[in-house]
Structure 1
Amino acid sequence: MAPRLREQPDRSQRGFGPDLLEALAACVELINTGRPGAADGIRTVADVQSFGRRYAFHGRAAGAGDIARLRAHRDGLAAVVAACDRADEDAAIAMLNALLRKTGAVPQIVAHDGRGPHIHVSRPATPLADRMAAHFAMALAEMVVMGESGRLRSCASPSCQAVFVDLSRNRSRRFCDSRTCGNRLHVAAYRARRSAAGQGSARSA
């Protein structure tokens, strides 16, 4: 079953199906568990299992090896987003292909739990970390193929470094959250301008 969002995605962005939006949201959440300066969100087997359960990944349960494995995949996914953010599509494609090979992705059509035919990227017996990473890599690959890789971005706030998917109609979003990071940066810029203006007045006096 495809991952589920705890919050409904923005349906105003036509052209992106719900499965893709949900996979992108889960991918972004995973990447952001490893943001520099924040506590790592993947520290225990329970963390891996909880993440998989939250997004409805079925199959083999998490094991001790999944911790380091998922962290490594998380770094790989973050590198793909960084490449997309700097418009280096060739690098993003190379890294995605490598990640899909590394996770042993084997796309197949399945139907279960009353849901119609849909695609699973991995076999149920594949390690949970690999299944999640392969699913997320396919979502990022779909964005590249659709010509939408420019929507994969890092927050413009120097103190944040979170990643997000820009679903605005004109691709104008710059912050992961305009109410916090956006306002904080605007306030800092305003104070810097006031300080510069004050220093200029002092020199001319």
Structure 2
Amino acid sequence: MVFAHDTVVALQAAVALANSALEPDTLTTVDELTGFLDTWEYTGRRDGTAAELAEVRALRPAVRELLLAERDPAAQLVNTMLADERAVPQLVRHGRHDWHIHAIAPDAALARRIVVETAMAMVDVIRTGETSRLGVCADDTCAGVVLDLSRNRSRRYCSAACGNRNAVAAYRARQRS
């Protein structure tokens, strides 16, 4: 594995958050936010309010910008995010997860925790020079963020739907010629 488990999960959650803004928007209700948080095993405070949903939705452009930034600009964004949130990394253990890093109190607002967890995951990406593992979907009709954790760096599409659509289009093009 390229990254520690907590880094992988935080990156996957950040990609899912950024891609939730694509059409159709998949983060429009408090119930959808709850599903997102459950899927990515976010711990800590949850208010379950429309205001919390609005705060998380407002993060999506900044998260997308960070995920797609080149290494040096990404480092600057991470430093700003961590400084703005006054992050203090600490090793914690909870639930079924062994020691991992949290850098903000579990009772901090959800949007603040998402920013810090994403920034902390990007610290590992930047330090290891692996920013090329993040990119934009190869489907010309999609702007989704792709996280490539494959060993051979072969992931090109943000979802199976985009990959299948392109495979079918390529097959049909071959059949026509």
Q: How many pairs were matched up?
A: 176
Task: Name the residue aligned to 1:166.
Answer: 148
Q: Choose 153-162 or 185-194, whichever is displaced more.
A: 185-194
Once residues 98 and 168 of structure 2 are traced to their aligned partners in structure 1, the CA distance between those partners, rounded to angstroms, is: 50
Which of 40, 50, 53 is residue 67 of structure 1 equivalent to?
53
TM-score by length of 1: 0.72
Greater RCO between the two (CA within 8 Å, min separation 6)? 2
Task: Name the residue aligned to 1:202.
Answer: none
**1:48 touches 1:66 (CA, 8 Å); kept in 2?**
no
Secondary structure of residue in 1 paired with 2:94: coil
Alignment of 1:123-134 (within 5 A): 123-134=105-116
Q: Choose 42-51 or 19-28, whichever is displaced more.
A: 42-51
Which of 12, 24, 29 is residue 11 of structure 2 equivalent to?
24
Q: Deviations over 1:150-205 (max 9, x none)?
A: 0011111011222121122232322224x54234335545666888x7xxxxxxxx
Q: Choose 154-163 or 185-194, whichever is displaced more.
A: 185-194
What percent of counterpart residues are identical?
Answer: 39
AA at the equivalent of 1:66: E
Correspondence 1:182 to 2:163? yes
Which of structures 1 and 2 has the bigger CA Rg?
1
AA at the equivalent of 1:67: L
| 1:129 CA displacement | 1.7
What's the Cα RMSD here?
Answer: 2.6
Correspondence 1:49 to 2:30? no
Correspondence 1:91 to 2:73? yes
Once residues 52 and 41 of structure 2 are traced to their aligned partners in structure 1, the CA distance between those partners, rounded to angstroms, is: 17
Task: Name the residue aligned to 1:79.
Answer: 65
**2:146 touches 2:155 (CA, 8 Å); kept in 1?**
no
Task: Name the residue aligned to 1:8.
Answer: none
AA at the equivalent of 2:54: A
Task: Name the residue aligned to 1:10.
Answer: none
Once residues 33 and 189 of structure 1 are traced to their aligned partners in structure 2, the CA distance between those partners, rounded to angstroms, is: 27
TM-score by length of 2: 0.81
Once residues 97 and 43 of structure 1 are traced to their aligned partners in structure 2, the CA distance between those partners, rounded to angstroms, is: 30
Once residues 162 and 39 of structure 1 are traced to their aligned partners in structure 2, the CA distance between those partners, rounded to angstroms, is: 12
Once residues 191 and 112 of structure 1 are traced to their aligned partners in structure 2, the CA distance between those partners, rounded to angstroms, is: 50
What runs of 5+ residues in structure 2 fail to find an aligned partner? Answer: none
Once residues 164 and 35 of structure 2 are traced to their aligned partners in structure 1, the CA distance between those partners, rounded to angstroms, is: 33
Q: Indicate how the Cα distance of structure 1 residues 175 and 112 shifts in structure 2: closer, same or farther if over 3 A, else same.
A: closer
